[in-house]
Amino acid sequence: MGDITEYNPNDSDNHGRNDGVNKAVVESFRIIGTGSCVPPRVVSNEDLTAFMDTSDEWIRSRTGIEQRHICTTETTSELAVGAARNALENANASVDEIDLILCATISGEYICPSMAALVQKSLGCQCPCMDISAACTGWIYLMDTAAAFFAKGGVRKALIIGAESMSRVLNWHDRSTAVLFGDGAGAAVLEAGDNYLGASFVTEGNDEVIAIPGKKGNSPWYDREERTGLLHMDGQETYKFAVSHLPKRIDEVLEKAGLTTADLDWVVPHQANKRIIDSAARRMKEIPAEHFCVNLQKYGNTSAASIPLLLDEWNRAGKFKEGDLLAMVAFGGGLSSAACLLRW
Ligand code: ACO
């Protein structure tokens, strides 16, 4: 059986959770390590043409995607655990120091237990665990929720993970969606600090443009027609939503922080479509186009995992310098959009 989650804020032996953080000084966090994990099976655009009426040329020119990683035997939580271990190693942190695990996913293998609890079981630590469901904006919600836990006090280090097996929820006969997504996980280890500067969120409740229906009610009394099935997305409506919301969320969060686009060093955008990122880059001319991070050609859209996969790649390549200002920005199911600011 897995480990029992025990958290008593009045227990002074509880890894110092009660007295380890001075609330008056520490209000947010800094990232001290990143990690990622993708399944080894690579599926190229060409591979998809074997069973779908599509082409490498169509997918590349409309989206920028060249390949994606797809699970064969791996589960979403296994990817999450792989990214978590990788991030702990990068942070030089031990599992015992982790006081909180938060995961974002819309494609876990369980509804209950949470993916965070499954990660905890594998890592063998004891701390509060919770999942967030906000589709592709999940990573921004993770950052802001973690900030709230740090501000409340009692958390020394936290592990946040975005993990998805979108291949589980795709209709592999629908060429308009199946070619866009991939599987993977990214994670970060957070430590109390003051590098997180806040977020801006918008949700326009809508289950028509993007939806993954859940299980139908199955009691003997349930008598309502309901949609069931796999991911449905109206690509053009999502595209319009994305290109208008992405720059707006960045402007809002900068304004809240008393900063401007001229202060930004990096934009770390959700990886759905290169054309959406290019459109944002054209509107934000103060930032060189090459400072919009892009790796969607390798992974496709990995939903809540896409921003942490980028963070890990750029971090390990040494591209972020201490003090750099990053804007992370995402859009997707909800319909939701969000951005947050972080000093590296
Ligand atoms: N291969 C070949 N042809 C295709 C494919 C394919 N894979 N998919 C669609 N087509 C065809 C269509 O049938 C259509 O043909 P028709 O003109 O004969 O009817 C034609 O290509 C054009 O289709 P459009 O949908 O107009 O293509 P568009 O240029 O809008 O690109 C795309 C579609 C790539 C989906 C784009 O709209 C997009 O990227 N939207 C945003 C998606 C997104 O960002 N999602 C993120 C959120 S997801 C989440 O939160 C879970």
The question of whether 69 is a catalytic residue gets the answer no
Residue 2 has pLDDT above 70, yes or no: no
Residue 27 has pLDDT above 80, yes or no: no
Residue 331 has pLDDT above 80, yes or no: yes
For the chain, give percent helix, strand, coil, nearest 5.
35, 25, 40
How far does residue 241's CA lie from ligand 1's centre (Å)? 14
61-90 average pLDDT score: 98
The secondary structure of 263-309 as a DSSP string is G-SEEEE--S-HHHHHHHHHH-TTS-GGGB---HHHH-B-GGGHHHH
Q: What pLDDT sits at residue 92?
A: 97
Q: What pLDDT sits at residue 226?
A: 82
pLDDT tens-digit readout, 163-174: 999 999 999 999
The question of whether 206 is a catalytic residue gets the answer no
Question: For residue 219, how many other CB atoms are within 10 A of its CB?
Answer: 6
Query: Who has greater pLDDT, 201 or 227?
Result: 201
Provide the mean pLDDT of the chain: 91
Q: What pLDDT sits at residue 225?
A: 85
pLDDT tens-digit readout, 185-204: 999 999 999 999 999 999 99
Residue 214 has pLDDT above 50, yes or no: yes
Q: How confident is the model at residue 17 (pLDDT cuts 50, 70, 90)?
A: very low
Helix (H) or strand (E) holding 245: helix 235-256
Pocket test for ligand 1, best of 62, 170, 206, 303 (most atoms within 8 A of CB): 62
Q: What pLDDT sits at residue 216?
A: 86
Does the beta carbon of 185 sit less than 6 angstroms from any atom of ligand 1? no
Tell me the C-alpha distance between 267 and 45, whole Å: 27
Query: Who has greater pLDDT, 49 or 216?
Result: 49
Closest atom of ligand 1 to 334 CA is 50
Closest atom of ligand 1 to 212 CA is 51
Active-site option among 14, 195, 301, 315: 301
Question: For residue 288, how many other CB atoms are within 10 A of its CB?
Answer: 9
How far does residue 120's CA lie from ligand 1's centre (Å)? 38
How far does residue 244's CA lie from ligand 1's centre (Å)? 18
Active-site option among 270, 273, 293, 315: 270
| Residue of the CA atom closest to atom 36 of ligand 1 | 235
Residue 338 near residue 140 (C-beta atoms within 8 A): yes
Question: Can you give the three-state secondary structure of 53-109, one letter per residue?
Answer: CCCHHHHHHHHCCCEEECCCCCCHHHHHHHHHHHHHHHHCCCHHHEEEEEEECCCCC
Q: How confident is the model at residue 257 (pLDDT cuts 50, 70, 90)?
A: very high
Q: How confident is the model at residue 229 (pLDDT cuts 50, 70, 90)?
A: confident
Does the beta carbon of 243 sit less than 6 angstroms from any atom of ligand 1? no
- 82-99: burial string, b at 16+ Cβ within 10 Å, e else: bbbbbbbebbebebebbb
The question of whether 136 is a catalytic residue gets the answer yes
Counting residues of the chain whose pLDDT is more than 70, the rounded percentage is: 92
Residue 126 DSSP code: -
pTM for the whole thing? 0.91
Two tokens at 248? 């707006």
The secondary structure of 23-37 as a DSSP string is TTT--EEEEEEEEEE
Strands 28-37 vs 183-193: parallel, antiparallel or unpaired: antiparallel
Two tokens at 140? 């921004």
Does the beta carbon of 332 sit less than 6 angstroms from any atom of ligand 1? yes
Residue 104 near residue 94 (C-beta atoms within 8 A): no
Tell me the C-alpha distance between 62 and 5, whole Å: 46
CB burial of residue 48 (10 Å; 0-12, 13-18, 19+): buried
Does the beta carbon of 304 sit less than 6 angstroms from any atom of ligand 1? no
Q: What pLDDT sits at residue 88?
A: 98
How far does residue 69's CA lie from ligand 1's centre (Å)? 20
Residue 13 has pLDDT above 80, yes or no: no
Residue 75 near residue 163 (C-beta atoms within 8 A): no
Q: What pLDDT sits at residue 5?
A: 33
Residue 108 near residue 141 (C-beta atoms within 8 A): no
260-273 average pLDDT score: 96
How far does residue 239's CA lie from ligand 1's centre (Å)? 9
